[in-house]
Amino acid sequence: MHNIITWEERMSGQSADTQQEAERLRSYLEPTVASHDLHLEEVEVRVTADQRTVHVVVDRREGTEGVDLDSLAEVSRSLSEAMDADPGDRGAAYDLEVSSFGVGRPLTEPRHWRRNVGRLVKVNLIGEENIAGRLVEVTEDGIVVVPDLSVKKGMKPKQGAPLVLGFDRVRRGTVDVDFTRPEEPDAHTPQIDHEEEEA
């Protein structure tokens, strides 16, 4: 039976040494990733008895297309060359894994939210009850979510009035994969008033 480990559990399980090494590599590798017009999202270091694995997550910059396989291969080659020339390397063997930002990763930056406008999300709030609904807008200061309301089993899901949530209230979010397209706005769709933030 396979053990299923969440992203948060994986990160919290890192030792202080591997976290420090991950931060060092992040600073060192960031210019290499940037040279491919990509954003360095995360560096994770996993260490076993005689091997270390360096997992690098890259993401597209805002306003550009997604990270395709050719781009991923190119940045992987550049990162491998940078790792081989790393002046701070202690000489331990390593495996390099390079991947793009996936749907299952937490939304923690404004650009993460902007990428997912129109999708169903779960919002983890600071000191408040979590919210699930459709992300309809991202502003300079926060997000706008049309929440799903609780209904009896078998009934059609209902949506509440849009909630304007400042980034200072949001800890993180996750994307819920759904196979339905958002309904087209009509006369019955509530209007969003950014002047009055929902409590």
Give the H or E element holding residue 31.
helix 16-34
Q: Which of residues 63 and 159 earns the better pLDDT score?
A: 159
Spatial separation of the C-alpha atoms in residues 134 and 147, rounded to whole Å:
6
Record the pTM.
0.57
- Give Cβ neighbours of residue 161 (< 8 Å, ≥ 6 apart): 146, 190, 198
Q: What is the mean pLDDT of the chain?
A: 79
* Model confidence pLDDT, tens digit, residues 38-55: 889 889 998 877 778 899
Asked if 2 and 29 count as a contact pair (C-beta separation under 8 A), the reply is no
| pLDDT score of 115 more than 50 | yes
Angle at 106 between CA 4 and CA 16, to 5 degrees: 70
* Model confidence pLDDT, tens digit, residues 135-184: 999 999 999 999 988 777 777 778 889 999 999 999 999 888 664 544 44
Give the H or E element holding residue 77.
helix 69-84
Give the H or E element holding residue 145.
strand 142-149
Spatial separation of the C-alpha atoms in residues 1 and 46, rounded to whole Å:
22
Q: Which of residues 130 and 183 earns the better pLDDT score?
A: 130
CA pseudo-torsion sign 154, 155, 156, 161:
negative
Q: Average pLDDT in the 106-122 region?
A: 88
Beta bridge partners of 59: 39
